[in-house]
Structure 1
Amino acid sequence: MRAVLYSEPLTYSIRDLADRALQPGEVRLAVLRVGVCGTDLHLHRGHFGARYPHTPGHEIVGEVAEIAHGVGGFVVGDRVVVEDGVYCGMCGACKAGKSLYCANIRALGVSLPGGTAEQLVVPAMKCYPVGPLEPDIAVLAEPLACVIHAMDRLAMPPGARVLVLGAGTAGQLLAVMARRNGAAHVTVAGSSEFKLGIAQELGADRTIAITREPGAALHAMTAAEPEGFDVVIDATGAVPMLETAIEAASVGGTILVYGVAEADKRISVSPFDIFKRELTIMGSYAQALNIGRAVTYLGTLPPTIGRLITHRFRLADYGLAIDALGSSECIKAIVVPGDR
């Protein structure tokens, strides 16, 4: 089979790799779609604990091609999405029911072979049938699962005024799910007019075009909501935007750190301001065991959610998919390893 294979940061090729035999409890998938996201860009640069040789791709849709003896619940031809985290089940976090914080976590496409390949062998227990969902919709399951975890963290009060900073895949899904989880009014702010247009198509009540000029973003948000927003979600991972998020929150507001900043970055924040305005600052880290919920939710969303997929590439053009992530008109890039 052909697969993307990194030998070191920034260095990869499309290689012919030998198929391996199935072990007990495993299935072989013909990969139909794999989403490309900011995590893949970090791994491309050698961050996020990348190990070599490395095959990326953690947003995986596949078709069951082979089933190990004794595995039930699937037949050849079933379409599934894959939960990428592999948990040890033995550490304190796992035994406490907090798999996301597993001390020995491994992940497909990060520390284990991922989906930028024609085929992929995975534990059957990590596969979730998608039923009639089209692959171009099902490929959103993993990012949506992360957003569902964010909604669980927020436990948003009904009637909240929500601001989402960033209009990429995460920002778009956060805006959609905020409305479905209690928000009365959702604003999306970003620098790409194209992406903001998609946010409006998907139901955002208001969009704000912002620039990188110091103070310009906060000025635009203050003008839109003088008393601040009840919930501000940063989906950019940019330090200036996170600092702006804190300023844009209302008294008693909540700031959710969703975007991934580099580990050595720091923000400047006034402890007195947090104290005086009774702000809550919280994080949302990936997801665990939410893929099934995400598949169910995708089945309830309008077909326009497919507008998030703006770029499509063959396996041989994986590098173009990575490059597309920097485009102001790219929301979700996907790779189609096969011919379907």
Structure 2
Amino acid sequence: MRFLLASLLAAFLIGCNPPQDDVVIVGSSWMGAMPIYTIAATDPQALPDGLKTIMLVSDNSVIHMLGIETVGGAFVTLDNALSVNTFTGGDYCVAMVLDRSVGADAVIVSDSWDWQAGETLSVGLEESTVARYMLSRWLLDAQIPKEAVTTQVLLPTQHIEAFTSGKIDAIVTYQPFIEHLRNVGGKVIFDSAVTNISVVDVLILRKAVWSAAAPLVEELKERVWPQALKRLQQRDEPFWQGLKTLTGISGKDLERALAGVEFVHLSGQEAALDQLFASDIPAVSNYLVASGMQDSVAPLSRCGGER
């Protein structure tokens, strides 16, 4: 775990001052983007020249980097992509769909947790749209009034201490951090496997860099991504060891974390993009407005062509 935290810190520092001539794509340490981080770590030559991928500490860090436009793009959830696109005035487009979360985003509580009407509930989460989306959906499902909830911003590196010390009642998080919390007694009480939950992860790029980034991103999508998924599927030993190191989990924990992610292979990209624009974006946009998380949402377009 210490190695993982050091790696994330180093990546964050690099990300604050990326090489000027490179197209830099950042992302949080979310399981859905791990195949790309892992192939970059175990086989750096697999990435096209001029393209850098950097794993940051948290969603908060990614959103910050996108907001100040110091990077070319990011691996983000659709909720976060729509929010970033909105507060930048429509500066981003969608290049590919990475995965769908089918249980890899969750609300974690202790085994003894039991909320009673009239009690105050303390919830730790990142300051991101997808975290607030998951919190909102859980409260609705559990029939817990928003007024009963206080929230505390927590980075993934703060989860264990906050959870084990009893400072919070619940944590909204994602894989692999779900497994870290399970290992200290946490249990999943609600997750993205619920039918009406839509957590989709995409690669977004700044429109201003798309013309320069396009050939690199296409190579990432058409060559690197399939190669990474193949190595993952085959449990290629160097790749698998790299994945264990980056996530800080192994064995059944790693298998369980991966089971909550449906990766979108190259052959399914067009269908996934069609679904994204036809149903996912309208549904998530409507929910963000209806729930009060956004006053309005700037629509995303497809990189290289309008949708």
Q: Larger relative CO (CA 8 A, sep 6+): 1 or 2? A: 2
Bigger radius of gyration: 1
Q: When the two structures are superposed, what TM-score results if normalisation uses the length of structure 1?
A: 0.28
More helix by share: 2
Q: When the two structures are superposed, what TM-score results if normalisation uses the length of structure 2?
A: 0.30
